[in-house]
Amino acid sequence: MDRHLRHQPTRISKSRIKRLRGVRRPGYRLRVGGLRVFYDVLDGVVEVLAIIPKTQTDDWLSEWAEAE
């Protein structure tokens, strides 16, 4: 997680970092094995909102994501 978020947290890649659409918050999702890290970047500071198993992703987003 540190390797991806420390230097280029907004660099979108096909396999790791994804900019989320249709929601204002969280802005990004990082895939690390079977885990998903949801985070925002504000003024260059990464704010990790949740680290959850892939199986709980939809439930977490439906409860916590802020729609645009």
Q: For 3-22, what is each residue's pLDDT tens digit?
A: 888 888 888 888 899 999 99
3-state secondary structure 3-68: HHHCCCCCCCCCCCEEECCCEEECCEEEEECCEEEEEEEECCEEEEEEEEEHHHHHHHHHHHCEEC
Count the domains in the chain: 1
Residue 44 has pLDDT above 90, yes or no: no
Residue 31 clears pLDDT 90, i.e. is over it = yes
Could you tell me the residue range of the domain that residue 28 belongs to?
2-67
